[in-house]
């Protein structure tokens, strides 16, 4: 039978209803026994929708619960992400856990930050360091042979699950060849994230990460990973400042990276401006404004040289997770700017629109007069790496 768009919509709605009902059951549960009841049914529904590529029902259910600001939203989001990034597989030696993970790197450069294929030696070195310092002794690791930008990560739940699935098929040879033609273009920022993506597998119920074995803390794993991976990332990120982050399960690693990228981009911007323009941080001023669609979406920060009215550089500080205008995000921005050495920070009280340059699409940034303007680096002797017009 041919299905009309409206009958598909009807079905999406019924399936979303079921997810909402199960997530609410889980949110109101009063015991581990009841959690298990709701949770296992929710998992089954989610698996069916993922294997049927029914992204719409997953998103409809999330949207409905987001509007109600309920705990059920968190339960459903956790459950979907959990089913996307983790699975059990039967192997010759018994059942194994398989988890999609990410190893993010924060980086900045005056030149465009690279995205690139990872050669055999690089991939082997990364795998070796991950196995030695991050994952447990019994773990197997497979990596995608590409150094991804945020724009190139899988976009939907289904695509992310497919990536996990594709990587799983390479646990024996350790390498998934990425079709680079299918990857999105990368928007260029002074500071941004790059990602190494892979799956880790271990016998069911045993430790995946080294810190689960109880002999070493997460911070110690982080320190060991940073120092071991230093040479590989120096080669991948020439002429860049960078900071490898703790490899973790995919979604939490991406959230860690998004959060840490905010203060990192302030530090990177101040370093960039003081080296490029020879202006010490103490001579820079920052103007912070909240930009709104219907609600507060992000803060934008314009940088000016003292006694000069043009905005020479700008950065966006996006809101994350449950943050809104009641959150004390501005205090954090101010503290980060001051820590970076900027003494004059002005926070505009008025609501600003989300405006972009009509020519190049760059966000406009606030100046001290309360206007949104195009950031323009002043002429220097050295060629500017930033896109200007």
Contact footprint for Zn ion (CB under 5 A): 357, 359-360, 362
**What's the DSSP call for residue 376?**
-
Tell me whether residue 267 or residue 304 sits nearer to Zn ion (CB atom): 304
Tell me whether residue 160 or residue 367 sits nearer to Zn ion (CB atom): 367
Within 8 A by CB and 6+ apart from 45, the residues are 15, 18, 19, 22
Half-sphere exposure of 133 (CA within 13 A, CB side): 21
Q: What angle (nearest 5°) sits at the alpha carbon of residue 330, between those of residues 73 and 295?
A: 50
**Distance in Å, CB of 268 to Zn ion, minimum:** 21
Tell me whether residue 48 or residue 388 sits nearer to Zn ion (CB atom): 388
* Cα–Cα distance, 139 to 202 (Å, whole number): 5
Tell me whether residue 344 or residue 374 sits nearer to Zn ion (CB atom): 374
Tell me whether residue 48 or residue 360 sits nearer to Zn ion (CB atom): 360
Tell me whether residue 88 or residue 360 sits nearer to Zn ion (CB atom): 360
**Distance in Å, CB of 293 to Zn ion, minimum:** 20
| β-strand partners of 89 | 96
**Distance in Å, CB of 388 to Zn ion, minimum:** 8
Tell me whether residue 83 or residue 313 sits nearer to Zn ion (CB atom): 313
Beta strands in the chain (DSSP E): 86-91, 94-108, 116-117, 140-144, 146-147, 175-176, 191-203, 241-244, 248-249, 284-292, 296-305, 311-318, 344-347, 352-353, 365-366, 372-373
Tell me whether residue 56 or residue 362 sits nearer to Zn ion (CB atom): 362
Which CA distances in Å does 370 have to 290, 338, 388? Answer: 11, 21, 22
* Cα–Cα distance, 261 to 256 (Å, whole number): 8
* Cα–Cα distance, 244 to 262 (Å, whole number): 15
Tell me whether residue 136 or residue 386 sits nearer to Zn ion (CB atom): 386
Beta strands in 169-244 (DSSP E): 175-176, 191-203, 241-244
Strand, helix or coil for residue 288: strand
- Closest-by-Cβ residue to Zn ion is 357
**Distance in Å, CB of 156 to Zn ion, minimum:** 30
Phi and psi of 83, rounded to 5°?
Answer: -70, -30
Phi and psi of 245, rounded to 5°?
Answer: -105, 170
The residue among 114, 85, 332 whose CA lies nearest residue 236 is 114
**Distance in Å, CB of 364 to Zn ion, minimum:** 9
Give the tokens for residue 204.
């069911």
């Amino acid at each position: 039978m041919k299905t009309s768009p409206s009958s598909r919509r009807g079905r999406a709605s019924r399936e979303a209803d079921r997810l909402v009902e199960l997530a609410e059951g889980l949110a109101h549960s009063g015991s581990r026994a009841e959690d298990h009841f709701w949770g296992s049914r929710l998992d089954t529904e989610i698996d069916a929708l993922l294997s049927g590529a029914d992204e719409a029902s997953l998103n409809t259910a999330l949207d409905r619960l987001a509007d109600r600001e309920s705990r059920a939203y968190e339960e459903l989001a956790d459950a979907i992400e959990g089913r996307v990034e983790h699975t059990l597989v039967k192997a010759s030696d018994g059942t194994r856990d398989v988890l999609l993970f990410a190893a993010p790197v924060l980086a900045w450069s005056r030149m465009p930050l690279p995205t690139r294929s990872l050669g055999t030696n690089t991939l082997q070195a990364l795998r070796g360091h991950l196995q030695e310092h991050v994952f447990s002794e019994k773990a197997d690791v497979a990596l995608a042979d590409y150094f991804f930008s945020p724009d190139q990560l899988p976009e939907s739940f289904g695509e992310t699950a497919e990536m996990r699935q594709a990587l799983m098929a390479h646990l024996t040879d350790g390498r998934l060849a990425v079709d680079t033609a299918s990857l999105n273009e990368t928007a260029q920022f002074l500071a941004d994230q790059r990602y190494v993506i892979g799956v880790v597998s271990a016998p069911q119920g045993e430790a995946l990460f080294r810190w689960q074995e109880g002999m070493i803390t997460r911070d110690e794993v982080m320190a060991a990973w940073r120092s071991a991976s230093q040479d590989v990332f120096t080669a991948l990120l020439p002429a860049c400042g960078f900071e490898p982050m703790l490899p973790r399960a995919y979604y939490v690693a991406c959230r860690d990276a998004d959060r840490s990228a905010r203060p990192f981009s302030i530090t990177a911007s101040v370093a960039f401006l003081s080296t490029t323009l020879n202006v010490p941080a103490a001579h820079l001023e920052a103007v912070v404004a909240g930009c709104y669609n219907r609600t507060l979406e992000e803060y934008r920060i314009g940088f000016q040289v003292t006694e000069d009215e043009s905005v020479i550089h700008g950065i966006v500080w996006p809101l994350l997770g449950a943050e809104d205008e009641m959150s004390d995000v501005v205090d954090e921005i101010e503290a980060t700017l001051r820590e970076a050495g900027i003494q004059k920070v002005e926070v505009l009280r008025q609501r600003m629109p989300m405006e972009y340059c009509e020519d190049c699409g760059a966000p406009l940034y606030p100046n001290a007069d309360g206007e949104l303007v195009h950031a323009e680096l002043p002429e220097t002797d050295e060629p500017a790496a930033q896109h200007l017009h």
